[in-house]
Structure 1
Amino acid sequence: MKTPLWFCLFVLLCAPARIALCQGEPVQRQLTPAQQQADFQLFRKALQEVHPGVYRYTPKAVFDARFDSVAARLTQPQSEQAYYAALTSLVVQLRCGHTKFIPADRDDKYPYHTSQLFPLRLHLLGGRAYVLYNYDGSTAIPAGAELLRIDGRPVDDILTGLLPYVSFADGATTTAKWLELQAFFAGYYAAFAQAADRYTVEYRRPDGQVAQTEVPATTLTTIKAVEKQRAPAARYPLQLDFRPDGAAVLTIDHFWVEGKQQPYAQFLREAFRQLRARGTKSLILDLRNNEGGNDSYGTLLYSYLASKPFRYYQRIGTHARRTSIQRQVHSEWFYGLYRRVFIRRATDGIYEFRGRKGLKLQQPQPEAFGGDVYILTNGWSYSVTAEFAAVARRESRATFIGQETGGAYGGNNSGFFAFVHLPNSGITLGLPVWSYYMAVPDTAHPERGIVPDYVVEPTAADVLRGTDREMEFTLDLIRRKAATSARE
């Protein structure tokens, strides 16, 4: 479902080149009201005629009123950045994290003022911000300090003001929004709040003393270099580790396997064979930061935990075969073939895609694991990961630990993608074209994520010390259960 590499390449191919400044940031133009309105009408039609879930989480009357409200304000010339912000507010109202909105020739996380970025890497928890490090290497503000104000504005006001511009979430979930804002605060702050050459920062030291200092802005080049240096070493995305205490940890970083790596199905088959051979009784499935991938991978993974046949997807909705803006819509060459062969109109008038294995009754694997399962999730447990977790939750197959998933319990909009380029503003709109509905009870809260049985959140101190709070909690839970069983 999430294919970020080809998505980025496609966006680059679709967007025409722009004149760039010497430091690498494209020149911003002033857009006339006529240019804004023309792009807006194409933007609105693309959402209404291509996106499969425009009104899935926001009622049509409410969303249409918001469309009209934004359109009514496009009466004065404004910069590309201001226009981008106005339309981003509507993209967020979709409550669909798979929808992308990317200005031409710009980094989608740091689109504007890339030489005036806020220089501190933050950890957000409970609406508060803590400093992890300065991108320029300065230690003037100590690691672990709580950030209180930026240029006199309280941090909680800043975070509250930025959150409405973060679209990475499904339905009513917010955990992914906070992680996204935490990871790319500098980009969001420059795009939707302010950018400056220097920032006055008020903070509370770990010893409780309040101090204030001025810090120079940093650049996108510096941020990317530091984050690359601090990133963990590349590894195979599927890992199975057996612990001395008898528990096993299966870590899945993402649901796709590239190049010459061991095929996913082969890895799972061998992993669960080993679990059975060793007589493993407790399996920790670490799906934190797993943003998804191939939807069939989630179905296959659950078949190794199931004890009986199970339903995975209830249905997959989509739009009719053609739209009024057909010539402006671009997608993969094979998408048209899929639509001609697999799209059918259901009895309720909704178009459905019927070509996925996950729509059929699924069977458990012969070597399915029968022991205790503990699943670790956070806000970046998304897309395919949330789909898998929804079925595991429905079947009461695991104990969940960590934070609520960013993907919604009831499903998501994803699958194939279509792209519409707004010619005047240079923005590319990336739209999912399938709407996945999970086979879960209607009585649940499908717009929420999978809420853990035990909510465990890492602190800034945990991050700085390298402490894995969620894993430690899970291992302690397993030890306590084993001790209780031994006494009985």
Structure 2
Amino acid sequence: IDIRNNYGGSLEEINNLYSYLSSEPYTLIKPSQVISKSSPLKTNYFRKSGFLQYAFKTLMYPAFFFGQTFSTYKKDGKFYYKTRADKVSKPKNDVFKGKVFVLINGSSFSASSILTSKLKNDKKAVLVGEETGGANDGTVAGFYSFQTLPNSKIDLPIGVLLVQPNITFTDTKKGVVPDVKVSETMEDILEKKDPQLDWITTEIDKEKRP
């Protein structure tokens, strides 16, 4: 599985992928935390909408409002956002039972880091490459509130959902560290070489030998 230079995706996608890699029921993430019950509403719903889009979104706003509002709940003084990925999921009938290698690098972020962190914790795969850019213990993403900086006028997306893999946290404040570190040099890039993938193919060839 190659998730190098992968900036992320949806929880639904990685939960579906994980269901093909785990032979037993699993829970992908811990309950996702938000600051308040209204946090999901601070997502610039009308951002970059043309006239027709604005009109349509205006009509749909009540559904959006109630959908987001009822997707949050409070427990032990904290607010959480409901997702399917924090519930127990069943493996697929045709789950893959072979050895899994996953390629990662410094441009693996967000959902790709959640996936690799979970795979490493559960010992479902061998991670090869370089430390991910996304943190091992979670990410603040899910949906975003865009804020315009006062001087540069740059639109800065700020995640409002704390998403953490269902793992034993490392508390290292680092990305997901590969099981096998294989670095890519500038020379490799210029010569279009892939030492990380080469390591995996060599390892597979070794395991095929009698």
Judge same fold: TM > 0.5, yes or no.
Answer: yes
Q: Is the CA contact 2:27–2:87 (under 8 Å) kept in the aligned structure 1?
A: yes
Corresponding position: 1:332 with 2:48: no
Deviation by residue 1:367-424 (Cα, 9 ceiling, x = unmatched): 0000111111101111111111111111101111100111112110001111223455
**1:469 alignment partner AA:** P
Q: Report the counterpart of residue 36 of structure 1 in structure 2.
A: none
Structure (1/2) with the larger helix percentage? 1
Deviation by residue 1:225-255 (Cα, 9 ceiling, x = unmatched): xxxxxxxxxxxxxxxxxxxxxxxxxxxxxxx
Q: Report the counterpart of residue 236 of structure 1 in structure 2.
A: none
Deviation by residue 1:155-208 (Cα, 9 ceiling, x = unmatched): xxxxxxxxxxxxxxxxxxxxxxxxxxxxxxxxxxxxxxxxxxxxxxxxxxxxxx
**What is the aligned counterpart of 2:92 among 356, 365, 382?**
365
Q: Report the counterpart of residue 380 of structure 1 in structure 2.
A: 107
Q: Report the counterpart of residue 9 of structure 2 in structure 1.
A: 293
Q: Report the counterpart of residue 197 of structure 2 in structure 1.
A: 471
Q: How has the CA–CA distance of structure 1 residues 343 and 421 changed in structure 2, closer, same or farther, with 3 Å as cutoff? A: same
Q: Is the CA contact 1:377–1:404 (under 8 Å) kept in the aligned structure 2?
A: yes
Paired-residue identity, %: 27
User: How much has 1:448 moved relative to structure 2?
Assistant: 2.0
Q: Is the CA contact 2:43–2:143 (under 8 Å) kept in the aligned structure 1?
A: no
Q: Report the counterpart of residue 316 of structure 1 in structure 2.
A: 32
- Aligned runs of 1:261-272 on 2, under 5 Å? none
Q: Is the CA contact 1:408–1:446 (under 8 Å) kept in the aligned structure 2?
A: no
User: How much has 1:437 moved relative to structure 2?
Assistant: 1.7
Q: Is the CA contact 1:375–1:399 (under 8 Å) kept in the aligned structure 2?
A: yes
**What is the aligned counterpart of 1:351 among 64, 79, 90?**
79
Distance 2:128 2:149 in 1: 42
Distance 2:188 2:164 in 1: 37
TM-score normalised by L of structure 2: 0.84
Q: Report the counterpart of residue 447 of structure 1 in structure 2.
A: 173
Q: Is the CA contact 1:291–1:380 (under 8 Å) kept in the aligned structure 2?
A: yes
**CA-atom RMSD in angstroms:** 2.0
Corresponding position: 1:419 with 2:146: yes
**What is the aligned counterpart of 2:162 among 430, 435, 439?**
435
Q: Report the counterpart of residue 75 of structure 1 in structure 2.
A: none
Larger Rg: 1
Distance 1:447 1:311 in 2: 23
Q: Is the CA contact 1:315–1:438 (under 8 Å) kept in the aligned structure 2?
A: no
Partner secondary structure for residue 299 of structure 1: helix
Is there any run of 5+ residues in structure 2 with no aligned partner, and where? 47-60
TM-score normalised by L of structure 1: 0.38
Q: Is the CA contact 2:11–2:111 (under 8 Å) kept in the aligned structure 1?
A: yes
Deviation by residue 1:199-225 (Cα, 9 ceiling, x = unmatched): xxxxxxxxxxxxxxxxxxxxxxxxxxx
Q: Is the CA contact 2:146–2:155 (under 8 Å) kept in the aligned structure 1?
A: yes
Distance 2:100 2:205 in 1: 14
Distance 2:88 2:204 in 1: 32
Distance 1:479 1:421 in 2: 53
User: How much has 1:292 moved relative to structure 2?
Assistant: 0.8
Q: How has the CA–CA distance of structure 1 residues 330 and 391 changed in structure 2, closer, same or farther, with 3 Å as cutoff? A: closer
Q: Higher mean Cα deviation, 337-346 or 379-388?
A: 337-346
User: How much has 1:454 moved relative to structure 2?
Assistant: 1.0
Q: How has the CA–CA distance of structure 1 residues 467 and 423 changed in structure 2, closer, same or farther, with 3 Å as cutoff? A: closer
Q: How has the CA–CA distance of structure 1 residues 317 and 372 changed in structure 2, closer, same or farther, with 3 Å as cutoff? A: same
User: How much has 1:330 moved relative to structure 2?
Assistant: 5.3
Equivalent residue pairs, number = 193
User: How much has 1:453 moved relative to structure 2?
Assistant: 1.3
Q: Is the CA contact 2:2–2:102 (under 8 Å) kept in the aligned structure 1?
A: yes
Q: How has the CA–CA distance of structure 1 residues 427 and 304 changed in structure 2, closer, same or farther, with 3 Å as cutoff? A: same
Q: Is the CA contact 1:411–1:446 (under 8 Å) kept in the aligned structure 2?
A: no
Corresponding position: 1:401 with 2:128: yes
Larger RCO: 1 or 2 (CA < 8 Å, sep 6+): 2
Partner secondary structure for residue 396 of structure 1: coil
**1:455 alignment partner AA:** K
Is there any run of 5+ residues in structure 1 with no aligned partner, and where? 1-284
